[in-house]
Amino acid sequence: MFKAIFANVQVGIYSTRLYIILLMTGVFVLIIYTSSETRSQQIIIRNPSSQQFQQLNSKYPSILSCPCTHTSIQRSTFMYNNVSFHPFCTSAFVRDPVWLQYWTMTFFNGTVDRSPPFDWPDFRKTGLKFINYVTTYCDFAMTTVNKMLDIYHAEQFFSAQPLNQMEFNALEGE
């Protein structure tokens, strides 16, 4: 009878020791985990510059939150498109009235030769029509492109969050 009681006490002592070891191991693991866990804090920067935003976005891309106070902005306030047309469209060949007088056979004294002695395949005979077509085409192209740019720049760009350069380029289709 005393042996059974002693065995039960011995099992209780071993169980208590095992419990204390496991408890201490658990507390130790919790202490290590909490000390190594990175803490985040909220820092509010009002009206950050573009450079500040890019710097913070490169450091903390997954946790950076920057709600915009204005969700739209007109494209013309931050974008500029420089369009260049073919040099021929702005050259003297289609814009200079003195050069165009050559095709009408108007001389400097104001007289006009209605029947120049050129053969039919000679470009000087049909050149004025070609130059007029090119001038019309160039004017049409310039007008169309400029109108489209005006429409594009008048549109609003919408975003609830600020965008970094790569995201913006992807949206605008660089």
Question: pLDDT tens digits for 113-140?
Answer: 666 666 667 776 677 788 889 899 999 9
| Residue 97 domain-assigned (yes or no) | yes
Residue 51 lies in a domain: no
Asked, for residue 67, whether it belongs to a domain, the answer is no
Please say if the pLDDT value at position 19 is more than 80.
yes
Residue 107 in this model has a pLDDT that exceeds 80: no
48, burial (CB in 10 Å: exposed 0-12, middle 13-18, buried 19+): middle
- Asked whether the whole model's pTM tops 0.75, one would answer no
According to DSSP, the β-strands at 72-74 and 156-158 are antiparallel
What pLDDT is stored for residue 93 in this prediction? 79
**47 in a structural domain:** no
Count of domains for the chain:
2
Averaged pLDDT for residues 89-110: 72
Same domain, 83 and 151: yes
Residue with tokens 């204390």: 20
Are 66 and 161 within 8 A, CB to CB? yes
- Is 104 a member of any domain? yes
Question: Is residue 128 situated within a structural domain?
Answer: yes
93 within some domain: yes
Report the C-alpha gap between 96 and 90 in whole angstroms. 10
Query: Quick check: 3 pLDDT over 90?
Result: no
- Indicate whether 26 and 78 sit together in one domain: no
- The answer on 85 and 136 residing in a single domain is yes
For 145, the domain range is: 72-158
**In terms of domains, do 153 and 105 share one?**
yes
